[in-house]
Amino acid sequence: MTETRTPPYGITVLGATGSIGVSTLDVLSRHPDRYQVVALTANTDVEGLYQQCLTHHPAYAVMTDPDAAQHLHERLRASHPDIRILSGVTGLETVAALPQVDYVMAAIVGSAGLLPTLAAARAGKRVMLANKEALVMAGQIFMDEIRRNNAELLPVDSEHNAIFQSMPANFAANPGWAMDEAGVRRILLTASGGPFRTLPLSNLHEVTPDQACAHPNWVMGRKISVDSATMMNKGLEVIEACWLFNATPDRIQVVLHPQSVVHSMVEYNDGSILAQLGSPDMRTPIAYALAWPQRIESGVAPLSLFDVGRLDFERPDMARFPCLRLAYEAMQAGGTAPAILNAANEIAVAAFLNGTLKFTAIPAVIEATLARVAAHAATSLEIILADDALARESARGHIMDATQGRGAAVARGLS
Ligand code: NAD
Ligand code: MG
């Protein structure tokens, strides 16, 4: 596909109003001759998408929520009648597959990103993948669609982008790639440990959503921020790495690295370890995914190693971070177990963010859901989505049981 593409490259940004979406538009605006924004999407943030339409003049704007789409249409009608407004999941799938689109930034949060990201893969686009949940839920199906349709898959998650950069040069072009043949012994996946890495364990049960979202090094959306605090984010990233790099979970070692300067590493069988370093700013992996195999200016200030001074590495504490253990176990179990894990996590995190669930109950909800919902072979999207739905129902039920004593209003907030 790449040979036939010439600048300006047409871009769809799925999840344009989010943290990754905004960083992507920042990088794109530094290269107006190289990239052209074709479509922007958001869920309900009419004002955010309206402002982005004024700045970036896309041909299409999609709001998943139909009422929000109607509001956006009314606001843009007079000044920008040429911008086509679409809605719903079909709107997202349409703009992921438009013929004038070369690259799709997949930056919707959570399972909602799966279908539009798959649509981009099926249309043979360059998929710049931030939405790790798509791979966690449907890794085999997604990777098969990428290969079958000659699409390109560029990881945007900073760790996976770092691993991609540290892999042998021919890795990306080799669909039958095997770690052993390339001399790769292990992947060293770094993790900051989030805001509660050193908090006394006895204080963990009383942490608030705002404390959990105050990440020491990265500014991110609220869901991934909570995932970073529980280290479920790292668990999802282990699963993501297994699919991206054709690895088994035992070949992926999580390494705590509180400075978030080394973004991950690849260990080779001759004893070499290759790493990618940089400031904790998502514009670097975004620029890399956009320009690969070239490099472009990202707006990120050069990293001063003298200011960083030292780099620390620690073993993760599985007792403090049970979500990490649960993610390893789900990947080892295989089939739809990772989709069940992901669904239960989404429900538990939403309940924590709305004040219904304690932080320390998040892993308990996930573990109970994994015990209650049987996993199946993940041979079709229907099977995966059915187990995803069952897991959500089961997780809600578990939270309801656990919070019954706290009144009916709490329970209503979960439905
Ligand atoms: P965010 O919450 O800031 O933004 C999410 C975007 O998705 C918004 O544009 C929102 O409108 C859209 N969205 C939300 N629900 C939707 C739905 N149901 N249907 C359609 N669109 C919907 O999230 P973020 O931090 O930008 O993260 C986006 C994705 O990137 C996540 O999968 C996350 O794990 C991944 N990621 C983020 C970072 C980061 O630094 N923020 C780093 C690595 C990976
Ligand atoms: Mg990451």
Query: Could you give all domains of the chain from N- to C-terminal order, each with its CATH number?
Result: 9-156 (3.40.50.720), 171-308 (no CATH), 334-412 (1.10.1740.10)
CA 269–ligand 1 middle distance (angstroms): 36
Collect residues with CB below 5 Å from ion ligand 2: 157-159
pLDDT at 406: 53
Q: Whose CA is nearest to atom 18 of ligand 1?
A: 112
Could you tell me which residues come within 8 angstroms of residue 192 by beta carbon, excluding any fewer than 6 positions away?
215, 216, 217, 218, 228, 256, 257, 258, 259, 260
Alpha-carbon gap, residue 265 to 274, rounded angstroms: 5
| Residue tagged 């089939």 (tokens) | 335
Alpha-carbon gap, residue 392 to 137, rounded angstroms: 13
Q: Among all ligands shown, which has an atom nearest to the Cα of 23?
A: 1
Q: Could you tell me where the beta strands, DSSP code E, fall in 134-176?
A: 152-155
pLDDT at 171: 79
Alpha-carbon gap, residue 27 to 23, rounded angstroms: 6
Query: Which residues does the chain have with pLDDT short of 50?
Result: 1-3, 407-415
Mutate to test the pocket of ligand 1, among 133, 161, 220, 231 (most ligand atoms within 8 A of CB): 220
CA 305–ligand 2 middle distance (angstroms): 21
| Residue tagged 């770092």 (tokens) | 162
Mutate to test the pocket of ligand 1, among 12, 17, 20 (most ligand atoms within 8 A of CB): 20
CA 264–ligand 2 middle distance (angstroms): 10
| Residue tagged 């719903």 (tokens) | 88
**CB under 8 A, 24+ apart: contacts of 83-90:** 83/53, 83/57, 83/58, 83/59, 84/59, 84/60, 85/60, 85/61, 86/60, 86/61, 86/62, 87/62, 87/63, 88/64, 89/64, 89/115, 89/116
Mutate to test the pocket of ligand 1, among 224, 239, 353, 392 (most ligand atoms within 8 A of CB): 224
pLDDT at 408: 40
- How many residues would you count in the chain? 415
Kindly report the pTM of this predicted structure. 0.96
Q: Among all ligands shown, which has an atom nearest to the Cα of 226?
A: 1
| Residue tagged 């529980």 (tokens) | 230
Closest CA to 195 of 130, 254, 258: 258
| Residue tagged 């195999």 (tokens) | 293
Question: Which residues have any ligand 1 atom within 6 Å of their CB?
Answer: 15-21, 42-43, 45, 64, 107-109, 112, 130-133, 157, 218, 220-221, 223-224, 282
Q: Whose CA is nearest to atom 32 of ligand 1?
A: 131
Phi, then psi, of 77 in degrees rounded to 5: -55, -50
